[in-house]
Structure 1
Amino acid sequence: MYFVLYRDHANQWRWTLYAANNRKIADSGESYWNKNDALHGIGLVMSTNSTTPVHER
């Protein structure tokens, strides 16, 4: 599994979680003005597995 952190068309931050087979299994569902807020959302999802990598595009 891995997260992808990116800016959307409105230049706001979003994230997507992908499974090992590269299939999308979750996303932020909303955009964030601040990158740290998006990272916090990722942290809430991965609270049980803190080794999941985050890739920024």
Structure 2
Amino acid sequence: MSKFEIFTDKSGKYRFRLKAKNGEIIATGQGYSTKAGCMNGIESVRKNAMDADIVEIETPSVEE
């Protein structure tokens, strides 16, 4: 099962990372000043990821 981990960075900000079943980090959150803010960030990702569309952005080729 994938999981969210909450941790504090070197500056004391709360951050989260989302780990896949194999332990690979697949997403990270910004720094939050409070743990409650970090939890809100996690809930936002959980809620909005279900409705997210996949969009492919093509990089234009550079002609020489």
Normalised by the shorter chain, which TM-score bucket? 0.7 to 0.9
Q: Which is helix-richer, 1 or 2? A: 2
Q: What corresponds to 2:24 in structure 1?
A: 23
Q: Distance in 1 between matches of 2:21 and 2:44?
A: 20
Does residue 5 of structure 2 align to residue 4 of structure 1? yes
Structure 1: tracts of 5 or more residues without a match = 49-57
Instruction: Deviation per CA, 1:1-57: give whole Å up to 9, x if none.
Output: 0011000000110000000011010000x2010111100000011124xxxxxxxxx
TM-score (norm 1): 0.77
Aligned residues: 47
Question: Which segments of 5 or more consecutive residues in structure 2 lack a partner in the other structure?
Answer: 51-64
* Residue 14 (str. 1) matches residue 12 (str. 2): no
More strand by share: 1
Identity of aligned residues (%): 28
Hey, what's the Cα distance between the residues in 1 that align with 2:25 and 2:7? 14
The higher-RCO structure (CA 8 Å, 6+ apart) is 1
Runs of 4+ in 1 over 4 A off after TM superposition: none
2:45 corresponds to: 45
Say what the alpha-carbon RMSD is for the aligned residues: 0.9
The normalised TM-score by structure 2 is 0.69
